Structure 1
């Protein structure tokens, strides 16, 4: 979605303000719906591993959202951008962030009266605080579901490379997030970008599964992980990811 994040100070507190890249004079219905969904979803949830929404301005054509400010910023940048060594995310940090996001998804799927499916789990939807704890963000595609009822059918949303291939049925269930989480864990292990691979006609899951079948999985693991993690740790985390995408 076309958004910009500003760092501002409101009432003595540093916040992150999320706006459309352009406040168009004519309403963009899709963008309005995306921001309203994000605001309404964030307001009904409260978990330490989710970015907190402080407020929402409805006086513009498209709502403006005010979130807590997280100084480290996005996980994607720490993984994939050329950043200072102090911002590089180590193996232990990656494990902790994966656990944090798993807790957030478990809360969304199990702790609410009506479970919520995120539908866009990826490294770009994860922010980091000063302690490198992971917080889930970007709830614009989120959707409530009713357990026991036939899954609702909606147009496929999310990011190529992370989307459950079974979602071609257009049925939204918590399994959509489980699959995306598995891809996210593979991204942490390999430091490969699922979206960029998808744009080139490849799929991280397919490539990784093929490597496992050919007994050359370790050749896909990020060098920093190979230096910091034991072979047993890597294999156990990889097995968890494969269970999620199965």
Structure 2
């Protein structure tokens, strides 16, 4: 470009994206000259000095320093915006979770409050009422694997037992008039039920620990109550309940000797369409059915335990008694021998004259026990069938196998020599 001033030359280079530099050579006057805009730049070190015009100026286009702060500002802005969006998103998620938790708590609270309004549901007790009833949980009855049990008295003078739960196994979801008072609080869980003044069955059937001898009529009533309780668990609940620890210590007696099955800490819930279930061995040695060795069990393990209890009630002794002569220590061996010799009456509790008077009924009851103790669990009756037999509606199966011997199970019975217990926490748990 000719006859332009130096500012025009520089501006022309700025406006041309391909321009690398602006070379301006002054003319005859100092206000104008020629402008050259090279597209490529090379070194000027080898230029012939003779061709260099001393009145020329060169301007090389470079990135201005003002663009750097702008770039840094843009990067910082992106970081700030991204962080802000992330924080807002996180706060939104936290707020949503808090909302969900609050709604669930509100729904749970409303559900709990509505329980007391539904007819037939368990009674509910405020914590403060239980605290007053138990005199600040002062009178401790005992303690077991699931918590301590305290005696209490309500305002209407009814006696209760309160168990403060520290851990739970499976418990039933039965809905029945037989279900006792149950209370669950958020911070602490309690079971509240009537106080069983006569304690557990073992106090009444073993020599040396019973307070007096039970009459035959009372024994029959207890046996029928236990049978009905187990039949209820097996057949009348929404899910089948296998107790898995049927023994005299878990049979509670009220002031009128009404019996209730208790302590469901080892119980198992199974669906109605399940005929059997696999589980690890649990229960009390001496009352374990032979099929426990295969870990595949049904409700017939409870039938077996019931058979042992029934036999112990009739004989007034434990299944394994080291105080007896060696050949008579195992009660099932004695039963087999007496059956073969036709001497079943010799097994009857000798402290009960009333049972001797009703010898024929006692012998029939021994047959019921033998039916429940069949080694093959498929040959044992259901508990509902046992109830019908006890009520006189059905007859006892006539073809029974009196060979109850299973050395593997007999060995476990030897270990059981500590089942004479007072009213302990293991006895006081969710009576049915």
TM-score under structure 2 length normalisation: 0.47
Tell me how far 1:110 sits from its aligned partner.
1.2
Unaligned runs of 5+ in 1: 21-30
How big is each residue's C-alpha offset from its partner over 1:148-168, in whole Å with a ceiling of 9 and x where there is no partner? 435221111111111111121
Q: 1:44 aligns with which of 150, 160, 174?
A: 174
Q: Report the structure, 1 or 2, having the larger helix content.
A: 1
- 1:135-214 matches, within 5 Å, as 135-149=260-274, 151-194=276-319, 203-214=330-341
Tell me how far 1:189 sits from its aligned partner.
0.2
* Equivalent pair of 1:183/1:204 in contact (CA under 8 Å): no
When Rg is computed on C-alpha atoms for both structures, the one with the higher figure is 2
* Equivalent pair of 1:55/1:67 in contact (CA under 8 Å): no
Distance in 2, matches of 1:57 and 1:79, equals 38
Tell me how far 1:53 sits from its aligned partner.
3.7
When the two structures are aligned, how many residues end up with a matched partner? 223
- Between 1 and 2, higher relative CO (CA 8 Å, sep ≥ 6) is seen in 1
Residue number in structure 2 paired with 1:125: 250
Q: What is the SS of the residue equivalent to 1:73?
A: coil
Matching of residue 218 in structure 1 with residue 334 in structure 2: no
* Equivalent pair of 2:182/2:190 in contact (CA under 8 Å): no
Residue number in structure 2 paired with 1:235: 363
- 1:46-125 matches, within 5 Å, as 46=176, 48=178, 52-56=180-184, 59=187, 63-80=189-206, 81-85=208-212, 88-125=213-250
Distance in 2, matches of 1:45 and 1:226, equals 41
Distance in 2, matches of 1:192 and 1:44, equals 34
* Equivalent pair of 1:120/1:177 in contact (CA under 8 Å): yes
Distance in 1, matches of 2:153 and 2:261, equals 22
Tell me how far 1:139 sits from its aligned partner.
1.1
Distance in 2, matches of 1:75 and 1:181, equals 13
CA spacing shift, 1:226–1:57, aligned 2, 3 Å: farther
* Equivalent pair of 1:161/1:204 in contact (CA under 8 Å): no
CA spacing shift, 1:138–1:14, aligned 2, 3 Å: same
CA spacing shift, 1:122–1:58, aligned 2, 3 Å: farther
Distance in 1, matches of 2:159 and 2:219, equals 26
* Equivalent pair of 2:291/2:297 in contact (CA under 8 Å): no
Tell me how far 1:58 sits from its aligned partner.
5.6
Distance in 1, matches of 2:306 and 2:341, equals 24
Unaligned runs of 5+ in 2: 1-143, 375-432
Distance in 2, matches of 1:214 and 1:47, equals 46
Q: 1:16 aligns with which of 161, 164, 175?
A: 161
Tell me how far 1:180 sits from its aligned partner.
0.8
How big is each residue's C-alpha offset from its partner over 1:116-172, in whole Å with a ceiling of 9 and x where there is no partner? 111111111111122211111111111122244352211111111111111211123
Distance in 1, matches of 2:211 and 2:330, equals 29
Choose 65-74 or 143-152, whichever is displaced more: 143-152
Distance in 1, matches of 2:287 and 2:250, equals 12
Distance in 2, matches of 1:99 and 1:127, equals 13
Q: What is the SS of the residue equivalent to 1:210?
A: helix
Q: What is the SS of the residue equivalent to 2:225?
A: helix
Tell me how far 1:232 sits from its aligned partner.
1.0
TM-score under structure 1 length normalisation: 0.78
Q: What is the SS of the residue equivalent to 2:361?
A: helix
Residue number in structure 2 paired with 1:28: none
Q: What is the SS of the residue equivalent to 2:252?
A: strand
CA spacing shift, 1:79–1:219, aligned 2, 3 Å: same
Q: What is the SS of the residue equivalent to 2:279?
A: coil
